[in-house]
Amino acid sequence: MTNYHAPDNHQQDPPAKHGREQAEVKEIVTDTINTHRVRFHEEENGVVTEIAEEMTFIAPEKEHRHLQKPLSYVTQEHMIDHEHHKEQKDKAWKSAWQDTFVQNPQQWLEENAEKLQESFGDFGGKLMCIDEGVEPENGKNAVYIAGSGILYKRDELKGKSMEERADAFTKAIDRSAVRDVTSHQLCGACGMCKEFGEDAEKVAMMWGKAIAKKLGVPYIDHVPPARRPKEFHDALFAYYDGTGRFQDPARAGLPKGFTYSRGILNDGAQGAFEIGVARSIAMGDHGFGKRFTKENPFTIVVIGDPDRPEFSEEKLLQELQPIADQYEMVKIITMKAPSQKVS
């Protein structure tokens, strides 16, 4: 029943994760269920990332609300917690691989070129998170950036206020693409931003409101991640959309996936970073993790814009190549978007 997680960068490591030795219980969130929040650091290629996890303990034990418990306790519960989801994940994994697209995406795309168009619409829409669980309103358009933009240049803008970071994001984004703004429950991206507060739900809503105000559009709602289990991420795919017109994979019968609207924010480094976040979630403890292999990969679907050279397939592929080079269980494929040019 882990409610939130941040990227796990150690999928290659043995089960004992050295980063967690630095963990400490920071806060006890509620006294009706035993939710603890721990914070620790993990290192990947010399980059130290702060990770925060919130855990709902299985057996309620009142005294834990008042005492700082040693890490061993936290870790043990944590592992029990994951065992608890193992069966659910095994089942979800097995069922996801029954899908004909999942089994052979390239063949599906060749055979369903026309149907595929149903996932595309007009440019822009409601701004949502890249989380595979968020669901665009039926028939309405949507665009996707992690945490509705909360990770925008996070390292570069370290120490800046939410106001300043919202300002930077809303200046960088194509404003014409955003009609209104949402935030969502259990948002991993917002949970990463402890600098804005410990409560990820509040942070998500505050950010959503801040950017909506700057963009001069309505902030709509704090929605549940309706398309996935609350306990884990079950995406096998990430869609990297250069058009800003890829509305919803489900409309064409494509499997769910993290969706990033690269075509509304012309910043390849930011795009690659956000797809990297999606990858680490999917391949980490709270995603399908080590179930991904070279034969059953996590697949990134690149959608170039046939009408705009700055968002071309070639350019987008180049941006993401380092991720595929680094992880043999990551595969990149391409998907053709319809052109909007009248021929």
| Residue 54 in contact with Zn ion, rule: CB under 5 A | no
| Residue 55 in contact with Zn ion, rule: CB under 5 A | no
Nearest approach, Cβ of residue 155 and Zn ion (Å): 19
| Residue 238 in contact with Zn ion, rule: CB under 5 A | no
Stretch that binds Zn ion, among 65-73, 128-136, 207-215, 261-269 (CB under 5 A): 128-136
Nearest approach, Cβ of residue 145 and Zn ion (Å): 10
| Residue 282 in contact with Zn ion, rule: CB under 5 A | no
| Residue 131 in contact with Zn ion, rule: CB under 5 A | yes
Nearest approach, Cβ of residue 147 and Zn ion (Å): 5
| Residue 189 in contact with Zn ion, rule: CB under 5 A | yes
| Residue 187 in contact with Zn ion, rule: CB under 5 A | yes
Of 34 and 183, nearer to Zn ion (C-beta) is 183
Asked whether the beta carbons of 219 and 176 are under 8 A apart, the reply is no
| Residue 201 in contact with Zn ion, rule: CB under 5 A | no
Nearest approach, Cβ of residue 3 and Zn ion (Å): 13
Of 129 and 337, nearer to Zn ion (C-beta) is 129
| Residue 235 in contact with Zn ion, rule: CB under 5 A | no
- Binders in 56-85 for Zn ion, by CB under 5 A: none
Task: Determine which residue in the list 129, 166, 178, 210 makes contact with Zn ion, applying CB under 5 A.
Answer: 129
Which residues contact Zn ion by CB under 5 A?
129, 131, 187, 189
